[in-house]
Amino acid sequence: MPYGFLCGWWPKMNITELVSVGLMLFAPVIADVPEDKSASIECLALNMYHEARGQGSAGLLGVSSVVLNRVKDRRFPDTICGVIYQGPTRESWKTRQTPDPNDATFYPVKHRCQFSWYCDGRSDEPRNKKVYQRLLTISKSIVYNTINFVDITDGATHYHADYVRPAWAKVKTRTTRIGNHIFYRWETGQKGGPVD
């Protein structure tokens, strides 16, 4: 019966009416399509892999907390990938020689990034695929908010390994230590930029 009903009125509609009915029928479905967050998931998983893969759950959550705290802080980029890949870049010598500016390729300046693995000159491709797949699953849970994520760093926006003493640590508030990382919060009004 529903099919006969459709056949009875469908052919009598003009194109404008058909489009209007289609929009009314399908707009709610389109509006409910979740935002594609695959880039954010991959960026966060890569950061966990390179910064804390051997530190256990607390270390993974600690470095992820710093990324998410930076996303919420107006002094940093407002996306996960933007935070992780933040830093100066330079154009490749190969594309600098071409007249077309649209073919330019940029690379991070070595040792000037927010997260050292991104600009250390080595491949960013995870070697241990099994560990990386696990981190992708954790990252997806964090990005889609399907786990109760608690910031165990008390709002940290910075961290460093315990074997280095960056100058910026003097002007940040130390919050905690997790594994071999020491975490800091950049208070409003404190001196110092992201990597000063």
DSSP annotation string for 109-130? PTT-SSSGGGGSSS--S-S-HH
pTM listed for this prediction:
0.73
**Is 87 inside any structural domain?**
yes
pLDDT band of residue 188 (cuts 50, 70, 90) is confident
Please state, for a pLDDT cut of 90, what percent of the chain lies above it: 51
**Is 171 inside any structural domain?**
yes
Domain around 102: 42-185
pLDDT of amino acid 98: 72
Give the tens place of pLDDT for each residue, 55-97.
889 999 999 999 999 999 999 999 999 999 887 667 777 777 7
pLDDT at 124 over 70: yes
pLDDT of amino acid 111: 64
**Residue in 23, 50, 32, 65 with CA at minimum distance from that of residue 128:** 50
**Is 156 inside any structural domain?**
yes
**Is 15 inside any structural domain?**
no
- DSSP conformational letter for 36: -
**Is 143 inside any structural domain?**
yes
Which carries the bigger pLDDT value, residue 102 or residue 129? Answer: 129
d(CA 154, CA 40): 22
**Is 94 inside any structural domain?**
yes
pLDDT of amino acid 34: 53
Mean per-residue pLDDT, 5-9: 43
pLDDT of amino acid 137: 95
Answer yes or no: are the C-beta atoms of 47 and 84 closer than 8 Å: yes
For residue 190, give the 3-state DSSP assignment. coil
pLDDT of amino acid 4: 42
**Is 25 inside any structural domain?**
no
pLDDT of amino acid 2: 44
Task: Record the tokens describing residue 44, joined without a space.
Answer: 């966060």
pLDDT of amino acid 73: 94
Give the tens place of pLDDT for each residue, 144-163.
988 888 899 999 999 999 99
pLDDT at 28 over 70: no
**Is 31 inside any structural domain?**
no
Answer yes or no: are the C-beta atoms of 35 and 153 closer than 8 Å: no
Counted domains in the chain = 1
pLDDT of amino acid 108: 66
